[in-house]
């Protein structure tokens, strides 16, 4: 049994998880585009994803604090939805990290 990773399948799964988490689609490289044409730095894509997750968390915190302060314009449903979006975004980011660590470990275990 082989432990190979299908990169196209992995990329599709990551994009689906990001879309489910509400992370806007970036200008990432599509599977059909070669790295030489219109390449995007991986670090920038990762940085944008981290910023997006952080913004969702900050938004949820701000809504929660407004609700706790008694702001009549903030409803409990909005607070709960924002908190769930932040949680799902963080979980998706954690899954991406786990996949990256697994891929790194697989590459490091390859014989030269």
DSSP string computed for 24-50? PP--PPPTTS-TTSS---HHHHHHHHH
The pTM of the full predicted model, rounded to 2 decimals, is 0.60
Per-residue pLDDT of 90-111, as tens digits, reads: 999 999 999 999 999 999 998 8
- Ordered by start, the domain boundaries in the chain are 42-112
Interatomic CA distance for residues 23 and 44, integer angstroms: 15
Residue 87 contacts residue 59 (beta carbons within 8 Å): no
Tell which residue, 79, 98, 95, has the closest CA to residue 23.
95
- Output the pLDDT for position 1: 44
- Please state, rounded to an integer, the average pLDDT across all residues of the chain: 83
Give the tens place of pLDDT for each residue, 10-37: 778 778 877 777 777 765 545 554 555 5
Residue, of 9 and 56, whose pLDDT is higher: 56
* pLDDT value of position 86: 95
């Amino acid at each position: 049994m082989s432990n190979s990773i299908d990169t196209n399948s992995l990329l599709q799964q990551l994009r689906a998880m990001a879309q489910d988490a509400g992370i806007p689609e970036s200008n990432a490289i599509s599977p059909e585009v070669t790295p030489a044409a219109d390449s995007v730095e991986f670090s920038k894509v990762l940085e944008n994803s981290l910023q997006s997750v952080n913004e969702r968390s900050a938004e949820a915190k701000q809504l929660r604090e407004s609700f706790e302060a008694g702001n009549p314009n903030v409803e409990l449903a909005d607070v709960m939805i924002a908190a769930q979006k932040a949680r799902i975004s963080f979980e998706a980011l954690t899954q991406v990290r786990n996949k990256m660590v697994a891929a790194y470990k697989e590459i490091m275990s390859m014989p030269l």
